[in-house]
Structure 1
């Protein structure tokens, strides 16, 4: 049932591009495991072993703190319609903040999203598929607009104020470096 690959094939790229949601998991050696759902057309495949995803402002900033201490990341996709499948991308990630030199080139790959705060660049070293036969069918209705609307209402200064209050440290006290002008 499960198969492992060294890269993202064209067929698997098509599967990824059809998904409306993906899940990201990270952890340090000592932290809690963080597992987050993502959407908003925020993932791009840059090659058979590289994906980037745009992270928008949220209540926490666990992924950024984890990746800077331990770059392991897993991204999971699952079919909620059509043939069953689960696809996991395993690899080493780095966080790119707005003040980093790579930001502008990577951010240009995405439609602008209000509240954009980081981009994660994942070098994929293992691709794994599994059956997904126990995953139920779900119908996609539409994107939620609340986060985008909230970020637009905050404006740039309000977002940075929020980062200062809520996004500088993980729940385990690890720094995110979101406001650092250089690390």
Structure 2
């Protein structure tokens, strides 16, 4: 069953800060929609309070989390102990998307090292924290960060990145227009391309 908390304890925050990877889960309200689980690497997660976290989201080939947050705001974070004592830590909450060029971005971005390809910040208010045993999670060793995504973004112009996001990050696989898609304006043209 695990143990349920209403907020992060200091020991949870310490555990999170040691992790090199975390996972984000989201889903649309529609029963026909897809549940999405997305791995996140690099030093992109920040803890603002026992009930508030955010991460810097980098450009990728999809944008499901952003679409699902727009649809219903539900988000789950999962952290796993790949070394040391076993544990799984999940954060359940409500999230929102913060785009560059907004006052919210200016306020939040100062807490991050803005990496090449940064496209948005995912911000979440945490309602429930749950720990479970993690006894079946295998040991893995950390060899380092991949720089492939950052190199890819570094070699693109701002226009190239905007064109890529317009094509790949504007609409989810379930047809939900993302906040990035909304920022481009003419949604019908994006849907047709």
Query: Normalising to structure 1: TM-score of the pair?
Result: 0.96
Q: Does the 8 Å CA contact 1:50/1:122 hold for their aligned counterparts?
A: yes
Structure 1 equivalent of residue 162 of structure 2:
160
The equivalences for 1:167-178 within 5 A come to 167-178=169-180
Structure 1 CA distance, aligned partners of 2:91 and 2:156?
Answer: 34
- Structure 1 residue 181, shift from structure 2 partner: 4.2
Query: Match for residue 100 of structure 2?
Result: 98
Cα offset, 1:156, TM superposition: 1.4
Name 1:27's counterpart in structure 2: 27
Structure 1 stretches of at least 4 aligned residues deviating more than 4 Å after TM superposition: none
For 2:128 and 2:61, how far apart are their aligned partners in 1?
A: 30
Name the structure where helix makes up a greater proportion of residues: 2
**Maintained 8 Å contact 1:56/1:115:** yes
| CA deviation map 1:93-141 (0-9, x unaligned) | 0111113320012111111211111111110000000000000000000
What is the RMSD computed on CA atoms of the aligned residues? 1.4
Structure 1 residues 28-37 or 96-105, which shifts more?
A: 96-105
Counterpart selection for 1:117 from 100, 119, 129? 119
1:10 matched residue in structure 2: 10
Partner of 1:73: 75
Match of 1:130 among 110, 129, 132: 132
Range that drifts further, 105-114 or 128-137: 105-114
What is the aligned length? Answer: 183
Unpaired runs of 5+ residues, structure 2, are 186-193
Question: Runs of 5+ in structure 1 lacking a partner?
Answer: none
- The answer to whether the Cα contact below 8 Å between 2:170 and 2:177 also exists between their aligned partners in 1 is yes
